[in-house]
Structure 1
Amino acid sequence: MKPTLTPALARIFKRLHYPFDVMLMCVRWYVAYGLSVRNLEEMMAERGIQVDHSTVHRWAIKLLPVLEKAFRRHKRPVGRSWRVDETYIKVKGHWKYLYRAVDKAGQTVDFLLRAHRDKAAAQRYFEKSIDQNGEPETVTIDKSGANLAALEALNAERDTPIKIRQNKYLNNIIEQDHRAIKRRTRPMLGFKTFRCARILLGGIELMHMIAKGQMKDGGGGQTPAEQFYLLAM
């Protein structure tokens, strides 16, 4: 029996004129593993499916925002002790900054790509993370003055301030977590536009969270691949 797609994905698939299982599989492989779109073009050709690498990229850009939005409705709550850090991502030959946080158990709190590494960027990241995940009790950061200034600005508006810890060594857990994201972005050889970078990083983070068991409805024995496909239904 053919599965029923979400209305948003059904509209997208109707315009793309390819079997939905082929598109979903290519997109999942792209964000789950260290593969380039040219790798995927060759892998599909070996299976008798002719698809251009630029088409795979277009599928990812169209489908991933819908899948990430669906995942956020099924994301497990995170702990209230966060480790926050940013890592470098190259976009059109220039370094941009991916703000990320995990809780003390290593579960991803949230992420946000920003053009600059300053107080405004950090504050926007904290506001987004709190809006999506609730307020933390404690936030651990490194010696970044921008992150400290952003948290102090947020605390100035709160009756119960967030406890701030500045300790580089306590942030090893988030630095280790960055590596999983970097392993997937390396074969992409940099991003051509900020928009594409934001969408593809969202897809990589989505698959990374699923692999860490952060999807509520994934406790019934489904594999990470099956959980990813469930987001389309």
Structure 2
Amino acid sequence: MKRLHYPLEVILTCVRWYVAYSLSLRHLEEMMAERGTSVDHSTVRLWALKLLPVLEKAFRRRKRPVGKSWRMDETYIRVKGDWKYLYRAVDKDGNAIDFLVRAQRDKTAARRYFEKSIAQNGVPETVTIDKSGADLAVLEAINADRETPVKIRQSKYPNNLVEQDHRAIKRRTRLMPGFKTFRCVRILPGGIEVMHMIAKGQMKCARGTHPSAADQFYELAI
């Protein structure tokens, strides 16, 4: 980060504000100027694209275990005028399971999401989905290879928990300029998801300590 010519504290503060709050890049440029630091809004975006994948990887090593009852659903993100699909799930306590952005909403995308989520979080006991035939087909295929099948529930209303959780993510993406590349739509919402999970207490901290969400985010860069 030395070549960026800014203190790491400034860089991390800008990146955290960008993914933690409903702020545009222009807002961040103005806020830093009020604090005596001149930072172009496009520079903040580059910092986010560079740092967030590293911080996400560090967070995954410290993510707390989640429950075995999952609520899974898809929401939408616009890329160059086209809608892409953000697959997400939470457990019965509202803890985020995992996320994945895909270009299509089909069996291939659903299978990739479940494979990723299970690899990171273990096999659930129950998964609640909506009426998506693709999600159902994938879960049935997963069960075909298991001695103890995952219980599948198909109902729109029990998924209100994950649909409500979508809103916290979409509030932040709404002020981000239109995602121009699929790389951006993978990285930036991923950073929002990490900050969202930290705020919900999903990061392991040293025993007896109670750092703020901001301090936990900064710890990931150490």
Q: Give the TM-score normalised by the residue count of structure 1.
A: 0.93
Deviation at 1:14, TM superposition (A): 2.3
Is 1:205 matched with 2:193? yes
1:225 to 207, 214, 218: 214
- The within-5 A match list for 1:127-206 is 127-206=115-194
1:124 to 112, 117, 120: 112
2:100 aligned counterpart, secondary structure: strand
1:25 aligned counterpart, secondary structure: helix
Consecutive unaligned residues of structure 1, counting only runs of 5 or more, are: 1-12
1:34 to 22, 27, 38: 22
2:103 to 107, 112, 115: 115
1:199 aligned counterpart, secondary structure: helix
Aligned AA for 2:46? R
Deviation at 1:42, TM superposition (A): 1.0
Aligned AA for 1:45? A
Rounded to whole Å, the distance in 2 between the matches of 1:208 and 1:86 is: 17
Deviation at 1:152, TM superposition (A): 1.1
Rounded to whole Å, the distance in 1 between the matches of 2:80 and 2:59 is: 28
Give the ranges of 4+ consecutive aligned residues of structure 1 lying more than 2 Å apart after TM superposition.
none
1:187 aligned counterpart, secondary structure: coil
Rounded to whole Å, the distance in 1 between the matches of 2:30 and 2:191 is: 22
Rounded to whole Å, the distance in 2 between the matches of 1:133 and 1:198 is: 20
Contact 1:32/1:184, CA 8 A, preserved across alignment: yes
Counterpart residue number, 2:32: 44
Counterpart residue number, 2:65: 77
Counterpart residue number, 2:9: 21
Deviation at 1:197, TM superposition (A): 1.1
Summarize deviations over 1:66-96 as a string: whole Å, max 9, x none. 0010001110000000000000111111100
Is 1:88 matched with 2:57? no
Consecutive unaligned residues of structure 2, counting only runs of 5 or more, are: none
Aligned AA for 1:227? Q
Deviation at 1:109, TM superposition (A): 0.3
Is 1:64 matched with 2:68? no
Summarize deviations over 1:126-183 as a string: whole Å, max 9, x none. 0000000000000000001111011111111212111100011100000000000010
Rounded to whole Å, the distance in 2 between the matches of 1:225 and 1:75 is: 16
Contact 1:89/1:190, CA 8 A, preserved across alignment: no
Counterpart residue number, 2:204: 216
Rounded to whole Å, the distance in 1 between the matches of 2:177 and 2:93 is: 31
Which stretch has the larger CA shift, 15-24 or 107-116?
Answer: 15-24
Is 1:106 matched with 2:94? yes
Contact 1:101/1:109, CA 8 A, preserved across alignment: yes
